[in-house]
Amino acid sequence: MIKVAIVGGTGYTGVELLRLLVNHPQVEIQTVTSRTEAGKNVTDLFPNLRGHLDLKFTAPTQEKLTTNDIVFFATPNGIAMQDTPALLKAGVKVIDLAADFRIKDVAIWEKWYGMTHNCPELLKEAVYGLPELNRAKIAKARLIANPGCYPTAVLLGFLPLIEAGVIDLNDLIADAKSGVSGAGRKANTPTLMSEAGESFKAYNVAGHRHWPEICQSLNICAGTEVDLTFVPHLLPMIRGIEATLYTKTLQPIDLDKIQELFIQRYKNEPFVDVLPLNSHPETRNVRGANICQLAVHKSNNKLVILSVIDNLVKGAAGQAVQNMNIMNDLSETTGLMNVALSP
């Protein structure tokens, strides 16, 4: 059995990890930490876990964490980097669901996250945990930077096109929308129901922290710098991300060939579902499941790719479990084959 700890078990990604891991046949959850809720039963805060988990929240001490095989950090940015060096030294593997290890250039990271990185020497070692891109590296890794939710949806839509060299790299647009759970489980006026309900807005148009993360992977894949415009939006719903991606092809658009390109690229990927040509994936299709649905379209002279994920599952906790499976030589789908919720 894989002994795991979850640091930051009171947030949305923390409880989503618990929901997935309590039914994982190869996992024993040993530790769930929270500085504010230490001593309280986990099920007092999350009654949906009653009958599945009998643990109390504890303080995140090194003594508690180093008894595990893997530690998941479901914490705000800047927390995982404080404890990761000691955990790795103790032989514990780390999967960080925040952004501490996603960006390789420390100067870029510090610019976008507004703090000094505690262990920049680990940025080179950390593996970006998008299995559809870095599966072989993930299998050998001891430190995983779990991708952001927006980057997951955007990258899975653009990667086949960039790998095939069929699009103009100077004309990439990602128009992305997220439910309010993407902002985390905290009191924040813009995400209150009375503020976000019956409304729709763009935010961080001039620059979002996920932009350099997306560009990093696209640049590596393309072998050169791409020109990406990324605009996030807030939707009045709890879960889900929809990314509408626009680009121009280098040759006249042949939708059948583009469709076949996507089918071949993802035919062996258990968590990417390429829908029939001209389909319209919806966020409810993937709610609660570790799935990305993609669809190919043409609009005038633009190629349009539609991508949907559950931001808390394939965009966070589910992808983290997928990475854990790969790191431990388990079937990638173990514990992750639940069907999406409908309605």
So which residues are the catalytic ones?
149
- SS3 call for 6: strand
DSSP-assigned letter for residue 326: H
Tokens of 44: 């007092």
Q: β-pairing, 143-145 with 93-96? A: parallel
d(CA 3, CA 328): 11
d(CA 91, CA 51): 32
d(CA 106, CA 123): 8
Angle (CA) 121-124-128 rounded to 5° is 130
d(CA 175, CA 177): 7
Residues 6+ apart with CB under 8 A from 82: 118
For 167, how many CA atoms within 13 A lie in the half-sphere containing its CB?
30
Angle (CA) 52-54-94 rounded to 5° is 85
Percentages of the chain per state (helix, strand, coil), in multiples of 5: 35, 25, 40
DSSP-assigned letter for residue 111: H
d(CA 1, CA 28): 6
- Radius of gyration over alpha carbons of the chain, in Å? 20
